[in-house]
């Protein structure tokens, strides 16, 4: 039974947005944050954002993201892989139904810079006008890597933005990383509901931004741990070919504090010599949350800075749609 539950939870956490929105369908009173963390201040997380979809009078938190400029946000590919930009130039979330057919869910917004999602206000909410998923991302398979996407907002964000790690592997093994998000604080967390100031119903795993310290796990140890868990849990069929690629992925977490469902797309940071946070990773996947010898897996940003810059530049010089 345990195994079935785990299988299902892995399915939901790894199958893209389905990991989040479909899960919302099946358990409407809940959504899947950082396990073992503490309340965080938005000021400590420059550019922190909640990716939400609007349906009727409801707002549904699906993933984390970070603003990296006044118009561009970074998130995980699996958060937006089935979304489409409609003719009016607005991104809309689609989720698979029971038969796997994609069904229109609702427009995507980014809600930026909040320590508490209930405080949503003008100036913190933006529609999304463009989605660029990494070309090497394999649909429905965040664990295969390249789990990174860029979102352009309609409008201009006036607040702080995240600073990205540019040079790979700056002494990572001794590094402590920190992760933040509005995701679940336990593996099968019940989720929270609230009414926003504008009278919309808001669903999120957690309304209060959480943060936690996650020690780096070396690529070799991570590879071994993930291989061990896959066989331990009997997941060879679906995950037999899954392995860690340290050049493009970071592993972090010692089994107590971890990211979890709903944190995907959000930031993993280290503190630079000036004491400022530098974003090194994007929450991507994990087997369960906060389990022993089961680190969280993050997209390594330094491996993708060329792609990020190139995409943003290409978009800036492209003629308007």
* Interaction site with ligand ARG (CB under 6 A): 13-14, 19-20, 183, 258-264, 283, 285-286, 289, 296
Q: 161: which 2 tokens?
A: 């933005």
| Residue closest to 15 by CA, chosen among 75, 95, 89 | 95
Number of neighbours of residue 291 by Cβ within 10 angstroms? 17
Buried b / exposed e over 108-138, threshold 16 CB at 10 Å, is bbbbbbbbebeebeeebbbbbbbbbbbeebe
DSSP code of residue 307: H
Residue among 91 and 217 whose Cβ is closer to ligand ARG: 217
Give the shortest CB-264-to-ligand ARG separation in angstroms: 3
Residue with tokens 């002494």: 171
Residue among 47 and 281 whose Cβ is closer to ligand ARG: 281
Which residue number is nearest to ligand ARG in terms of Cβ? 286
DSSP code of residue 47: T
Q: Residues, the chain, total?
A: 321
Residue among 71 and 131 whose Cβ is closer to ligand ARG: 131
Residue among 129 and 259 whose Cβ is closer to ligand ARG: 259
Give the shortest CB-303-to-ligand ARG separation in angstroms: 19
Residue among 155 and 246 whose Cβ is closer to ligand ARG: 246
Give the shortest CB-246-to-ligand ARG separation in angstroms: 17
Residue among 126 and 177 whose Cβ is closer to ligand ARG: 177
Residue among 188 and 315 whose Cβ is closer to ligand ARG: 188
DSSP code of residue 320: P
Helix (DSSP H) and strand (DSSP E) numbers for the chain: 6, 17
Q: 213: which 2 tokens?
A: 């310290």
Helix, coil or strand: residue 20: coil
Contacts for 247 with CB less than 8 Å, ≥ 6 apart? 168, 300, 303
Give the shortest CB-317-to-ligand ARG separation in angstroms: 33
Phi and psi torsions of 82, nearest 5°: -105, 0
Give the shortest CB-74-to-ligand ARG separation in angstroms: 15
Cα–Cα distance for residue pair 301/277, rounded to 1 Å: 14
Taking only Cα atoms into account, the Rg of the chain, rounded to an integer number of angstroms, comes to 18
Q: 92: which 2 tokens?
A: 């809309």
Give the shortest CB-14-to-ligand ARG separation in angstroms: 6
Cα–Cα distance for residue pair 170/148, rounded to 1 Å: 21
Give the shortest CB-259-to-ligand ARG separation in angstroms: 4
Give the shortest CB-133-to-ligand ARG separation in angstroms: 15
Residue among 13 and 52 whose Cβ is closer to ligand ARG: 13
């Amino acid at each position: 039974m345990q195994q079935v539950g785990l299988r299902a939870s892995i399915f939901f956490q790894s199958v893209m947005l389905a990991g989040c929105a479909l899960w919302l369908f099946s358990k409407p009173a809940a959504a899947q944050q950082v396990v073992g963390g503490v309340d965080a201040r938005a000021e400590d997380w420059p550019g922190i954002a909640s990716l939400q979809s609007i349906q009727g009078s409801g707002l549904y938190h699906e993933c984390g993201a970070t603003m990296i400029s006044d118009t561009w946000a970074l998130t995980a590919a699996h958060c937006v892989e089935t979304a489409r930009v409609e003719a009016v130039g607005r991104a809309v979330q689609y989720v698979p139904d029971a038969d796997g057919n994609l069904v229109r869910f609702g427009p995507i917004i980014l809600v930026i810079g909040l320590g508490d999602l209930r405080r949503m206000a003008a100036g913190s909410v933006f529609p999304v006008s463009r989605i660029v998923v990494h070309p090497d991302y394999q649909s429905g398979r965040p664990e295969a890597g390249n789990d990174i996407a860029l979102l352009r907002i309609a409008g201009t964000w006036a607040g702080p933005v995240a600073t990205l790690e540019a040079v790979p592997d700056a002494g990572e093994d001794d590094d402590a990383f920190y992760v933040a998000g509005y995701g679940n604080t336990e593996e099968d967390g019940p989720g929270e509901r609230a009414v926003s100031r504008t009278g919309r119903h808001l669903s999120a795993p957690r309304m209060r931004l959480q943060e936690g310290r996650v020690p780096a796990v070396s690529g070799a140890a991570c590879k071994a741990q993930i291989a061990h868990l896959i066989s331990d849990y009997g997941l060879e069929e679906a995950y037999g070919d899954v392995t860690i690629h340290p050049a493009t992925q970071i592993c972090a977490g010692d089994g107590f504090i971890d990211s979890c469902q709903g944190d995907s797309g959000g930031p993993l940071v280290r503190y630079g010599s000036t004491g400022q946070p530098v974003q090194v990773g994007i929450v991507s996947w994990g087997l369960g949350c906060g389990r022993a010898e089961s680190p969280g897996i993050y997209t390594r940003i330094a491996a993708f800075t060329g792609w990020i810059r190139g995409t943003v530049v290409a978009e800036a010089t492209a003629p308007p749609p």
